[in-house]
């Protein structure tokens, strides 16, 4: 049992079959007993990614609709959602400047840093940041987070 922060690029893998999907699905499965944190914006990003893939023809529209429904059903049970606060968004602005991150990537990292600080203050093990975005993973490592990339688990 461990604590993980999963960004959108990784979480989509639970709902679409691609490299890292099996590993990610095992990690976030309730039976694994892990605490899975996601940023509130991840809810929008995952739905957008699934819908975009259907529009682009990489998955069938029916599969995208089913995946969106499954994701919405999983939200209240499988994930701890980190809400956006002024403090978190201020940290995201700093992270965007420091690491040259895109806006929502900076918000994802700020949310993970907030959860990691809570874990550390509570005497819990360090949080592991899970993302399929190399630049974001580099920034997370620079912020002292443990990082795992689902693409490294074919």
When pLDDT is cut at 50, 70 and 90, the band that residue 1 belongs to is confident
In a domain, 55, yes or no: no
| 38-64 pLDDT per residue, tens | 999 999 999 999 999 999 999 999 999
In the 8-state DSSP scheme, what is residue 122? Answer: T
| 75-129 pLDDT per residue, tens | 999 999 999 999 999 999 999 999 999 999 999 999 999 999 999 999 988 999 9
pTM: 0.96
- Beta partners for 6? 130
Strand order in the sheet with 3-6: 80-82, 35-39, 3-6, 128-130, 146-148
Residues 15-39, mean pLDDT to the nearest whole number: 96
Which CATH number goes with the domain that contains 27?
3.40.50
In a domain, 143, yes or no: yes
Q: Please give the residue range of the domain that contains residue 137.
A: 3-40+79-152
In a domain, 110, yes or no: yes
In a domain, 117, yes or no: yes
Total domains present in the chain: 1
In a domain, 134, yes or no: yes
In a domain, 35, yes or no: yes
In a domain, 51, yes or no: no
DSSP element (H, E) containing 36: strand 35-39
When pLDDT is cut at 50, 70 and 90, the band that residue 69 belongs to is very high
Q: Residue 115 has what pLDDT?
A: 97
Radius of gyration (C-alpha) of the chain in whole angstroms: 15
* Cβ atoms within 10 Å of 31's Cβ, excluding its own: 6
């Amino acid at each position: 049992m461990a604590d993980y922060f999963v960004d959108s690029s990784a979480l989509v893998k639970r709902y679409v079959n691609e490299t890292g999907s099996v590993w990610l699905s095992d990690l976030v499965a309730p039976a694994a007993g892990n605490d899975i944190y996601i940023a509130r914006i991840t809810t929008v990003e995952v739905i957008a990614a699934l819908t975009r893939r259907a529009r682009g023809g990489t998955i069938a529209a029916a599969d995208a609709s089913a995946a969106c429904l499954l994701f919405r059903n999983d939200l209240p049970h499988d994930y701890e959602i980190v809400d956006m606060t002024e403090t978190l968004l201020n940290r995201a602005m700093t992270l965007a400047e420091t690491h040259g991150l895109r806006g929502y990537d900076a918000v994802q990292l700020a949310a993970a840093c907030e959860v990691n600080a809570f874990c550390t203050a509570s005497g819990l093990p360090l949080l592991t940041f899970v993302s399929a975005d190399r630049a974001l993973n580099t920034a997370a490592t620079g912020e002292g987070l443990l990082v795992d990339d689902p693409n490294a688990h074919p």
